[in-house]
Amino acid sequence: MRTDPGISVTRVYLSIFFIAFVMPVIVFSAGYRYLNRAELEMEETRLLSQFEPAAAVLDASLNNGSFWCRQLNEIFASGATVKEFETGVAALSGKYNQKLRYVVWQSSSSAIISNFPVDDKHAIWLEAGQIIRGLYNTPGGKIRLQDDFLFKKLIGPHLQGQRFYETFKLIGPRILESDFTMKHPLVWVNCRKEYSVLVLLPPAILGKSHGIRTFFEQFFPDGKSQDEYVLTSGKNRYTNSSLADSEIQYLQNRFLTTGKKILSYRQGLVFGEQLSEGCFFMVVRAVKSSQNTKAEGLFALSLFYFFLIIARTFSVTRLSGGLKVNTSIYTFIGLSNILPLCLLILFTSQYLAQKYLVLIDAKRAESVRFAQLLEQQFQNDIERFPGRVKTVIDSFRNELKQHSLTPEIAEKIYDRLVEGHIFFHFIASSSRQVLTDRGFYSGNHFIPLETTNNKLVLPRMDDLVMKIGSCFVAFCNRTPISQNALTETELVADTLFRKPVDEAMHIFVELNGKIGPLGFGIDSRHSFTDLLSVHSPDLGDYLGIYQYDAGKNAMDFMAGTKRERLANSFGLKVISFRGETVNYEGIASFSGLHEIPRVFARMTEYPPLSAEIIRLDGRDWVCSGYKSSVVNGHGLLALYPVDEIKHRLQGERNDLIILFSLNLLIVFAVSFFFSQMLLGPVKWLEEGTRAISSRDFTYRLPDLGNDEMGRMARIFNEAVADLEELSVARVVQQQLQPQGKIDTGGFDMFGRSITLADLGGDYLDYFESDAENFAAILGDVAGHGVGAAMIMAMAKSAILNSVDYFKTPALLVARLNQLIYSTKTRKQKKIMTFQYLMLNKQALSATYANAGGCTPFLVNGKTGKVSELVLPGAVLGAFKKGDFREMEISFVPGDALVLYSDGIVEARNLAGEEIGYERFKSMLLKNWSADSEQYYNSMVAEYQHWLGGGEPQDDMTMLIICLRGRNG
């Protein structure tokens, strides 16, 4: 088998192997490994975001008392009516099979609702409800001693009513014990506008594991979670993991030494965090290994098997011949670009997934920075606090100089200072006068300027502050102090500061004009002191002790920054909480607000390291915040809608889609350019082939350059020039054929030659030799083309120059033999069969000579007889001298003489069968007609039918002479 010139089968197969196998395997392997690594990183992020918040609440779940406290607080928060609360408590009791007793006090009436008898102590229970309501309405207030005894008598001997607020505080709520021996019930209380409630729980509940069981049910539901957990708490271990004890200990040590929260172990990831000393939590998640080569190997084997099938089924020549040039260009350019493009799309999808996580974390950091900015603004307000106070006090300097501290001046100063939410003591040095944020004291007389809840305790505190303040002024003015006053001051210093008097005085000195912490008793606030000199610059007349009410000022600050918090350029919504109260301003209409207290409960004073996503109002929000280190008990939480991040990524995704589309357009444009650049010359060649098919041999291709196409065009033009010469030769050959009818007398003659090529090798001619005779000639030159045409032309010329031999066919044939033999060379060895027939019009007879031609048949249609006229003779040009003879043919009515070339008897059908002489004779008899032209057409039709649509294998020439009669 011969391949196309210029095509290396090996190179083509290697190229196809590289493009169709090696490149896809490399791309698949790189993409698969990248996907595994990216998926592993994303799985680490998912594992961390899922179980880091879970670990934050796990410690509380380990304490079953805290768990029950949270459960009751959630039921209370969601129960707007008493009926809803009772339903929730009943469901909680049934779920954990615990008997809970409760008492409910409605705010609108004095009725008591309970699930156990309280009628025998109805009045006491009613008073207990009033005490709880009063304690709730005054956060930080103290309970009276007799009220504390009431609860001890009613519930348990060790119950401290002062601690009731611990059950409903937002951060770290806890159940209260009423008896250290655990014989009396545990206590939980809470209040809201509509009702107050107290729940009694069995003390044995502290030894249960409801909290940890609920935690595992929430985060590791049976049948839905494939994660394994290990929780070690002291000597207890809760686990569903198959890890051995040694493996668990190994992982714990790795977490502690590396400080990481995510580790790779075997075929999975492990999250781990130490909750407290002796308490460790781990989660094991199985993931696909990035080193797994099974998929890569399977892909390579499948592709290689497919490649072998294709290579075995299609050969290079069939593949190249079955594709159009432009299709091939588009295919190979497309393959070379689509594979990298697919890889780029793969990387881009991972990039967008990673960027989503990056943007989430960026919003977390931005939220923290924004909250820190707000806190810094508030811190700046605190720093400006001394300046504002001094400005107020300095404005009263002249009045104090003229009138001292009168009740009227004290009230004016009070009004100015309380506007800034300040706790203050303005102490006069010359008398027992002190102005506080509660009122004005002058001697033993108290003028209240603010309604107080307990007038017995608070003035006593003011008296202590006045005494130590007066002592400090005396020290500064170097005024003598009596021993009794000094002793009393030492007692006051120990009471207020738990320090000696000299250290207490040093505190006042350090705070003179500067912000610092100062507390009386358990309270510590941002404070400063100021010694005011009115009469003499060397003597202090008044000592001001000013404490910043951070709680109230923080609330004012939040109100003042409402627009900045809720409608800022960052798109953040910042909400705050104070103590147990959450300020839902800006999101109050949202559903799912019960998630907010849980987030606040997990907050610390340190910004979170990872973002948390919660669902509010049907949308996901990134939330991040922390408890304030400036204002105790306050915190900030910033919310950002995840939809905005997705919208931003959608914009980038659309841009990338446009970029990929442009890339595809460029690929198609490049393919189109190359196809046009390559197919332009091909189209010229196509036009040339159309011209040739229409036998327009004057068509010439333009100059297509000096490349392969240009050389091909020049070769094409040369070939067309040769074809043009052949066309001329064909015209000449056609002109050698008989051009018109002749007088055949009593005969009817018709013949045609059907050539296989432009220049055939069959020779058909007839002409009138004289008034009584005409000649008929049929020859067949071996081969086709110009050489055969030249031999035929030479024979035609020789016959025309042999007039003397027309009536002696044998001599004429011998003369032609000598001529053709003399023209033979080593390169030109053409031979020719030749049949010559001289017919006499009058005698209705013929003289016939044959030189290797097919034996003619004499067919009589009337008798149905077919006679073969056998006259042996060598072909012309075979021998120098040949023995040629002639024979006489007599015609009777119904006779038809048929001369033919071997192209008809050797014609093969689609099955490869020849017509043969016997079948040919049958065809002659079957199609006999007295009309020679009709006879000829019938024979040609059956000849075409025999071919069955196939191509003829040789020239076909046939001449039929029918006897017509003497009178024609």
Which tens digit of pLDDT belongs to each residue from 517-538?
Answer: 887 654 578 889 999 888 888 8
Q: How many CB atoms lie within 10 A of CB 626?
A: 20
Segment 423-446 mean pLDDT: 84
Q: How far apart are CA 44 and CA 283, in angstroms?
A: 12
In this predicted structure, the answer to whether residue 644 has a pLDDT above a threshold of 80 is yes
Based on the fold, state whether residues 428 and 373 are members of the same structural domain.
no
Asked if residue 701 belongs to a domain, the reply is no
* 892 and 763 in a common domain: yes
Same domain for 126 and 106: yes
**150 plus 217 within the same structural domain:** no
| 891 and 777 within one domain | yes
pLDDT at 704 (0 to 100): 65
574-584: per-residue pLDDT in tens?
A: 888 776 677 77
Q: Are 49 and 261 in contact (CB under 8 A)?
A: no
The strands making up 612-616's β-sheet, listed across from edge to edge, are 581-583, 573-578, 634-641, 619-627, 612-616
Q: How far is CA 104 from the centre of its chain?
A: 56
pLDDT at 1 over 50: no
CB 278 within 8 A of CB 59: no
| Dihedral sign from CA coordinates of 493, 495, 497, 500 | positive
176-177 and 236-239 beta bridge pairing: unpaired
C-alpha span between 174 and 188 (Å, rounded): 8
Please give the structure tokens belonging to residue 257: 């030494």
- Within this chain, do residues 202 and 217 fall inside the same structural domain, yes or no? no
In-domain check, residue 74: no
Q: Identify whether residues 372 and 481 lie together within a single domain.
A: no
- Residue where a domain terminates, one of 627, 644, 661: 644
* Amino acid present at 190: N
**For residue 685, is it within any domain?**
no
| Residue 135 burial (C-beta neighbours within 10 Å; 0-12, 13-18, 19+) | buried
Statement to judge: residues 127 and 271 lie in one domain: no
Return the pLDDT at 312: 65
Same domain, 266 and 223: yes
**CATH number of residue 949's parent domain:** 3.60.40.10
For the sheet with 886-890, list strands across it.
Answer: 762-768, 773-781, 832-840, 845-851, 886-890
Place of tokens 């100063």: 413
Boundary-marking domain end, from 160, 189, 207: 207
Provide the residue range defining the domain that includes 814.
738-963
Q: Report yes or no on 667 lying in a domain.
A: no
Domain end, chosen from 191, 207, 223, is at 207
Same domain (yes/no): 175, 275:
no
Is residue 839 within 8 A of residue 961, CB to CB? The reply is: yes
The CATH number of the domain holding residue 163 is 3.30.450
In a domain, 959, yes or no: yes
31 within some domain: no
pLDDT for res 865 = 92
pLDDT digits (tens, 9 = 90+) for 109-141: 778 899 998 888 888 898 888 888 877 766 555
Do 180 and 270 share a domain, yes or no? Answer: no
Q: State residue 157 phi and psi, 5-degree precision.
A: -70, -20
Q: State the Cα–Cα distance between residues 133 and 106, nearest whole angstrom.
A: 10
Token pair of 393 as six digits: 């006090």
Q: Residue 201 falls within a domain, yes or no?
A: yes
pLDDT band at 315 (very low <50, low <70, confident <90, very high): low
Tokens of 478: 């170097």
pLDDT for the residue 74: 81
Residue 721 within any structural domain of the chain: no
Closest C-alpha to 764, from 773, 755, 756: 755
Q: What global pTM score does this model have? A: 0.51
When pLDDT is averaged across residues 641-660 and rounded to a whole number, the result is 84
User: How many separate domains does the chain show?
Assistant: 5
Q: At 860, is the secondary structure helix, strand, or coil?
A: strand
Distance CA 942, CA 953 (A): 16
805, 748: one domain = yes
